[in-house]
Structure 1
């Protein structure tokens, strides 16, 4: 089983100087690709010094874009994605590969409580995990972890779905669940990042986190999001109609509006469900019959 390790990196020379030597000892013979996402420090030089293949971007395109570039260039049957900032221990990679060999298509290194950057991030990730567990019907231990091993051919099916920003783990995980590709989680501890502070800013990325919630739903089963909302409008409309009928003996415009909203929301969910199904069908057909 050929293994490629892909590390997206932006100004991570300090982290790479620590991670790459450990990586060589943990998975000897693996192809190592460092995707330099428009770094202004000596990230590319450090990666080259330690024998990694370097893919450099002239400007920053985003973490997800770096992941896609690395996945396209990878020659291994299995791709291991990990951060370049020293948070992930290369010694844990064999644990992920064991689960791949056991038949799983995606194996995620699930962070414990000490691995969360701060309280707010920890609470947000816990909410994402709960929502994803409800949507998929499978226990999701860490939806947003960037430390994962995946079968390369399976992962490339969904490259066009992946955003260029930070939410590629969420998108890829939900895509695997939707396509009935087996997913496993391996609990593990992570370390504090090396070098500069995280590129994620809670206030700036607040809207992005909200969009992740909707992405979780729309990538798996939109009706699981739209149906409860439709039911809430329906119950409110019927309740308001019952109250106005008993008190004034008439059917009001507000009741009509609430009941109409319930029907519209349900129909939107139904159409979204069909679009989601067609999207995954197109992904499968493109992977089986690639364009010349």
Structure 2
């Protein structure tokens, strides 16, 4: 029987953990539970000690993704469960995610509905992220940024070196699993209102999420990004040439420049495709 390790990154989440940890222990009595204290200044360590839960503390805040990586390295289980430490995720949902994993998937993500989004702005942003990721991967991505997921430990650890230290580890891990042809499933969940104040800054982190989608696109399938851009430059150059030829009967430097840009962008895409293949070589 597979052993389960539950990893909770936490930064000043003592109030939420006081209620969450007993519920988690009751829902998964045989699981290893690890709280990664990301430089908290509250009583996070004391709450963990009182609940009999292992707590790994950082001397200062390194980021949500850094906490996830530390927890994944320390976990002893064959299956990793990632949950937010702010009380949004219901421990009883873990069983449903694990059941989907038994169907042969390598990762199962708890997918939030619109009613579980923290505000209209974030809900609309997540809808855009899901759509872009679906187009890039050719798969249905129901919730790209959900922090509630279960994964096979040996699969997840293949991509630890790719994960950023910030809040975008769910984005990166999802795209990496798709790129490596590992099965990903989505299980609907309802997220409760978090306890305390969110550490996410909507504008700054929202822009970062969007940039990371394009960054991962270059790692996932570079030609899907570079070929359309190259084609757009080619069309612009051709259109400019047609205009200047019929108007002035000559080829302009602008057309030549845009055609050159089309060739350069396409060649960059080819090189990036080769780098991607090397990045995702199987680890022995």
Please indicate the TM-score interval, normalised by the length of the shorter structure: over 0.9
What is the distance in 1 between the residues matched to 2:207 and 2:184? 28
- Give 2:199's aligned residue: 199
Q: Normalising by structure 1, what TM-score?
A: 0.95
What is the distance in 1 between the residues matched to 2:204 and 2:103? 41
Contact 2:38–2:63 (CA under 8 A) maintained in structure 1:
yes
- Give 2:59's aligned residue: 58
> 1:119-143 deviations in whole A, cap 9, x for unaligned?
2211111111001111111111000
- Give 1:108's aligned residue: 109
What is the distance in 2 between the residues matched to 1:193 and 1:127? 23
> 1:249-282 deviations in whole A, cap 9, x for unaligned?
100000011111111111111111111111111x
What is the distance in 2 between the residues matched to 1:216 and 1:156? 17
- Give 2:183's aligned residue: 182
Residue 210 of structure 1 deviates from its aligned partner by: 3.1
- Give 1:166's aligned residue: 167
What is the distance in 1 between the residues matched to 2:119 and 2:265? 36
SS at match of 2:41: coil
What is the distance in 2 between the residues matched to 1:207 and 1:110? 21
- Give 2:22's aligned residue: 21
Residue 188 of structure 1 deviates from its aligned partner by: 1.1
| Residues 20 and 127 of structure 1, relative CA distance in 2, 3 Å threshold | same
Structure 1 unmatched runs, 5+:
none
Contact 1:171–1:219 (CA under 8 A) maintained in structure 2:
no
- Give 2:74's aligned residue: 73
> 1:127-181 deviations in whole A, cap 9, x for unaligned?
1100111111111100010000000000001100000011100000100000000
Q: How does 1:37-52 map to 2 (within 5 A)?
A: 37-52=38-53
Where does structure 1 differ by over 3 angstroms across 4 or more consecutive aligned residues?
Answer: none
> 1:58-106 deviations in whole A, cap 9, x for unaligned?
0000000000000001011100000010000000000010011111000
- Give 1:83's aligned residue: 84
- Give 2:148's aligned residue: 147
- Give 1:222's aligned residue: 222
Residue 202 of structure 1 deviates from its aligned partner by: 2.0
Contact 1:233–1:258 (CA under 8 A) maintained in structure 2:
yes
Residue 203 of structure 1 deviates from its aligned partner by: 2.9
Alpha-carbon RMSD:
1.0
User: Once structures 1 and 2 are overlaid, which stretch shifts more, 46-55 or 90-99?
Assistant: 46-55
What is the distance in 2 between the residues matched to 1:243 and 1:165? 48
What is the distance in 2 between the residues matched to 1:131 and 1:44? 39
Contact 1:110–1:145 (CA under 8 A) maintained in structure 2:
yes
Asked if 1:257 is matched to 2:257, the reply is: yes
What is the distance in 2 between the residues matched to 1:94 and 1:205? 31
- Give 2:212's aligned residue: 212
